[in-house]
Structure 1
Amino acid sequence: MGRKEENIKKAEVLRKQLDRIRNIGVVAHIDHGKTTFSDNLLAGAGMISEELAGEQLALDYDEQEQARGITINAAAASMVHEYEGKEYLINLIDTPGHVDFGGDVTRAMRAVDGGIVVVCAVEGVMPQTETVLRQALREKVKPVLLINKVDRLINELKLNAEEMQERFVKVIAEVNTLISKMVPEEFKNEWKVKVEDGSVIFGSSLHNWAISKPYMDKTGMTFKDIYEYCKNNDEKTLAKKLPMYKIALDTVIEHLPNPKDAQKYRIPVIWKGDPDSEVGRAMLECDSKGPLALMITKIIIDPHAGEVAFGRVYGGKITEGQEVYIVGMPKKYRTQQVAIMVGSDRITVKEVEAGNIAAITGLKDAIAGSTVTTVQDMESFEGIKYISEPVVTVRVEAKRPSDLPKLVKALRNISKADPSIVVSINQESGEYLMSGMGELHLEITEYRIKNEQGVDIVTSEPTVIYRETVERKSSKFEGKSPNKHNYLYVEVEPLEESIVKAIQEGEISDNVKKHGKEITKALQELGMDRAEAKGVFAIN
């Protein structure tokens, strides 16, 4: 039996032991080395060849990812790691760094409890570093820090040992400033990253080595030793003495929470139902014996298996052939296959328990954000709130008029697989409009429609959406009802900055019908007049 198959067998047992599970995401600015780092972890677990780690980019298995050298899709992998004599199951999600694919990062953060924030030692903290941190902290995902590409400071920038350490101090300070600005109040001090406690790792994903303070104490290695190894181009020895996968996964197990601990503080943020209900208690306790509560975070269209839904099981378990409800849909659905993911491979299993990430076929009407459950009237999970909205639009038409039905189906599949793509119809011209996060996002989507969906299309030049906004209070506008018996008076004025920020960051729900009292109270606390707050009937 190969090591990969052996790990899959071990994962079967570990999935049932909550204290031995870690669900983690790898997030960073583009080209800071996330996918190369993920390769190291997979190689350490025996999932790919150690010689190819850092070059194979196993989680960039999409054709366009390999051609462009960037991550486009969030990809999942499960691996087993031994720490202090015990084995642990690590469910890893590698996410995109390019700003156009930020929607995938937001959805991935709903599925994980901890995150490794990768920052390039040369470039330091970049705009997308701040964005991915905000996405993680909004979902109460705890971070640890990896300062990557340390070898470049020595071999390219020619910094000495002292200058190198000064650079590290600056990066850590900048990351902690961002964390303290965005972290939930109860974790303000607890979640800051510190060299002393080992929540900061230094290393080189490309050359497969890393170091942290606990490993310095254990091995006697110092930054001066590392400096000498890098300067002498002997990073192979360094990789043998300080294998990146071991240091990184030890840090994950030591510092990031298991699902049972994490769900106690995460569930009240992502689910607003009754915590004392049977399903509420099952989720707070991460109990596999309770009713099923699963949230879909991603849909992929597989040419052989059809629609594959990925999701985090928060309560109960999902099994092969199980009858389930998708909240908001009138009928029952029967699951076909249940699996765990390793890169592009789906490993079929009989069931996946609470606290784990599953891939499921058979949920035809599910979309990213759907709630899957065995309780017919379960309150759905809170909607996934994106940091940015689609800003670039193209007109799409089939090259051959006879392909129009195929185009409609392809656009439906695309918007299902990637909710960041918004498809609409121009009511005046009848043209199909496709909006995305940027030109690259639309370019990749166009490629998928042509090559994966098999529809030959023609697209227009991209146009940028501009929106009007309210700068100051307007004069009173008078309107009349159709029968001229009723007069309506409307005034428009901008909201207070604090209220806008609370809505954008998801602190105030946009479901007024369901959470009217809590919204009124929150708006009053932010300074809105009581009568005005009570009169709010919609937030958009």
Structure 2
Amino acid sequence: MSKASTPLDRIRNFSIIAHIDHGKSTLADRLIQRTGGLTDREMSAQVLDNMDIEKERGITIKAQTVRLNYRAKDGLDYELSLMDTPGHVDFAYEVSRSLAACEGALLVVDAAQGVEAQTLANVYQSIEHDHEIVPVINKIDLPAAEPDKVKKEIEDIIGISAEDAVLASAKSGIGIDEVLEAIVTRIPPPKGDREAPLKAMLVDSWYDPYLGVVILVRVVEGVLRKGQEIKFMATGTRHLVDRVGCMRPKIEQLTELAAGEIGFITAQIKEVSQTAVGDTITDAKKPTAEALPGFKTVQPVVFCGLFPVDAADFEKLRDSLYKLRLNDASFSFEAESSAALGFGFRCGFLGLLHLEIIQERLTREYDLDLITTAPSVVYKIQLAHGKGELDLHNPADMPDVMQIASIDEPWIEATIYVPDEYLGSLLKLCQDRRGIQKNLTYVSGRAQITYELPLNEVVFDFYDRLKSISRGYASFDYHQIGYREGDLVKMSIMVNAEPVDALSMIVHRSTAETRGRGMCERLKDLIPRHLFKIPVQAAIGGKVIARETIAAMRKDVTAKCYGGDASRKRKLLDKQKEGKKRMREYGSVQIPQEAFIAALRMGDEG
């Protein structure tokens, strides 16, 4: 068990803000190594990223924390709590809670790439929390590094002084001592009254097979002790604390966490869904008067269907989704069935990256082969004759047109950074996606564009197109700005006059024809030929807007005729024609799974 709590003026709580691949996790590794958190033998690259996907993609998905002891140049010992926050837009709410648990932030910017969109979004959140921001220019040993240009960018774009920015290279270990000194001297200590009633913020939670749910907390006031009965203010549940501790980054058990400290607790909680991120924890017997501000429940934004390729894997898929949900309460799922794809689940995600990560984890960790239907967003349908409002998650459930007064779709505000030479094609992409340009400014050779866009145009393949247009140089960040009415229609795909529910989608009337034609052309190449002609049609209601015909395979019935009268051949061909007509009436078209998978691949459809 650990000693008494550290005095408030010796504690520093800070997070690291950076764009993907600017060296955030590597810097965290060096800080842990320099302060003796782990020995060289225990060290591995990206210590705080404990999922394979996090390491491979160079992204952080779950917030992690580590407590470090550092003896500064003034001879005093300090306790540093580092929060490794996710950088991606899909996890913006988790980031806001992690930042609310700190007093300052290290702003890590790549010396070769400069400020990018996600850095910007998270820095503004940090400024809103009144943080002291310490700029760190990383990777200064790269041949393409331009630290002076990056300093100017930080000052021009973000508007904070970068004169005393720390120059570092986390990989080579340059400037690590300077970073530690800057944390101690420039980031303020936390405030808080240790005698007040307990008030702590639930920053994050994850499932541990041995301990149950582990909760990461920041104590704002009071003291959190082992054996104390606590209450979650948003959910109203009560629990008994059975373990208190901190990560160094190995687990160390403590007797208490006092105001200003960050650590973890366990309280025999079985499901992560009971612990809402951002909730306020207080003493059940002597509660605090008011909860901490900023709590909100996280709602899924993007929905899609997940179906096993092999129908026998349905139970396995259900078990895997339950296990994943133990660790990630922000995605939801419910069973659904499709005439074309069989039984599966309709799942809700925070965004496209979240969808991709869950899908990849199911494939990798649980060895499942999946078909994913085209992602769609939540539409709000205003019913006719004042019958109220309906949330539509699945295009197949859309009510009859006569019952609909209007359809509202979610809109986002996107901030895009792009080098000058790709600006033209990027503006065209945003215009094609019904974007409304709000702002266009130039900062040191790069354009910053602000656009309002409908979310359903973005979830489709916007991100892939953006990256291919800009050869990967554009960075993109967005937040939702509410719902607006749109001229939206349900487009059905029919094969041999039978609607295929898995391929139906909600589109804007202006782009319906292009989308429909693209889908029909693709299916024409994917569906194998039968002995009869197959029409592939895209339709809005009863009106067909695009059509392709898959030609019939033809058996040469006249092969046995050699010479003789032409009427003999004619007679055989007419007989074949009659048979084909009958087959066309009764023949059913088998669409292979591969055709579905390929048709639902989000390539460019227009």
Cα deviation code 1:438-477 (max 9, x no counterpart)? 554334324545777xx6655432533356799xxx9xx9
Letter of the 1:367 counterpart: A
Residue 461 of structure 1: aligned partner: 372
Residue 332 of structure 1: aligned partner: 238
Alignment partner of 1:362 is 2:267: yes
Q: Percent identity?
A: 28
For residues 212 and 153 of structure 2, the distance between their equivalents in structure 1, rounded to whole angstroms, comes to 44
* SS of structure 2 residue aligned to 1:379: coil
1:351-430 superposed matches below 5 A: 351-362=256-267, 364=269, 365-374=274-283, 375-376=286-287, 378-384=289-295, 390-391=301-302, 393-395=304-306, 400-402=313-315, 406=319, 409-410=322-323, 412-416=325-329, 419=330, 421-423=331-333
Residue 62 of structure 2: aligned partner: 73
Cα-Cα RMSD:
4.1
For residues 231 and 77 of structure 2, the distance between their equivalents in structure 1, rounded to whole angstroms, comes to 35
Give the TM-score normalised by structure 1: 0.62
For residues 342 and 209 of structure 1, the distance between their equivalents in structure 2, rounded to whole angstroms, comes to 23
Residue 347 of structure 1: aligned partner: 252
Alignment partner of 1:202 is 2:202: no
Cα deviation code 1:270-299 (max 9, x no counterpart)? xxxxxxxxxxxxxxxx11121111111111
Cα deviation code 1:310-337 (max 9, x no counterpart)? 0111111111111111114455310111
Aligned residues: 391
Paired residues of 1:138 and 1:505 also in contact (CA < 8 A): no
Alignment partner of 1:252 is 2:183: yes
Which structure: larger Rg? 2
* SS of structure 1 residue aligned to 2:372: coil
Paired residues of 1:81 and 1:87 also in contact (CA < 8 A): yes
Alignment partner of 1:323 is 2:229: yes
* SS of structure 2 residue aligned to 1:382: coil
For residues 259 and 427 of structure 1, the distance between their equivalents in structure 2, rounded to whole angstroms, comes to 53
1:93-492 superposed matches below 5 A: 93-152=83-142, 156-157=143-144, 167-180=146-159, 192-195=160-163, 198=164, 200-210=165-175, 244=176, 246-260=177-191, 286-343=192-249, 345-362=250-267, 364=269, 365-374=274-283, 375-376=286-287, 378-384=289-295, 390-391=301-302, 393-395=304-306, 400-402=313-315, 406=319, 409-410=322-323, 412-416=325-329, 419=330, 421-423=331-333, 432-448=345-361, 459-461=370-372, 463-466=374-377, 479=386
1:431 deviates by: 5.4
Letter of the 2:211 counterpart: A
* SS of structure 1 residue aligned to 2:141: helix
Cα deviation code 1:89-125 (max 9, x no counterpart)? 0000122334454454333212211110100010001
For residues 390 and 331 of structure 1, the distance between their equivalents in structure 2, rounded to whole angstroms, comes to 27
Seen in structure 2, the aligned counterparts of structure 1 residues 389 and 90 have a Cα distance that, compared at 3 Å, is same
- Pick 1 or 2: higher relative contact order, CA cutoff 8 A, min separation 6: 1
Paired residues of 1:390 and 1:436 also in contact (CA < 8 A): yes
* SS of structure 1 residue aligned to 2:16: strand
Letter of the 1:81 counterpart: Y
Higher mean displacement: 122-131 or 440-449? 440-449
1:389 deviates by: 6.7
1:140 deviates by: 2.9
- The structure in which a higher percent of residues are helix is 1
Letter of the 1:256 counterpart: I
1:423 deviates by: 3.9
- The structure in which a higher percent of residues are strand is 2
Paired residues of 1:78 and 1:90 also in contact (CA < 8 A): yes
Letter of the 1:205 counterpart: A
Paired residues of 1:425 and 1:433 also in contact (CA < 8 A): yes
Letter of the 2:218 counterpart: R
Paired residues of 2:94 and 2:277 also in contact (CA < 8 A): no
Equivalent of residue 44 in structure 1, options 11, 34, 38: 34
Seen in structure 2, the aligned counterparts of structure 1 residues 460 and 121 have a Cα distance that, compared at 3 Å, is same
Paired residues of 1:327 and 1:376 also in contact (CA < 8 A): no
Residue 21 of structure 2: aligned partner: 31
* SS of structure 1 residue aligned to 2:151: helix
For residues 289 and 320 of structure 2, the distance between their equivalents in structure 1, rounded to whole angstroms, comes to 35
* SS of structure 1 residue aligned to 2:210: coil
Runs of 5+ consecutive residues of structure 2 not aligned to the other structure: 389-404, 414-437, 439-451, 453-477, 481-606
1:478 deviates by: 6.6
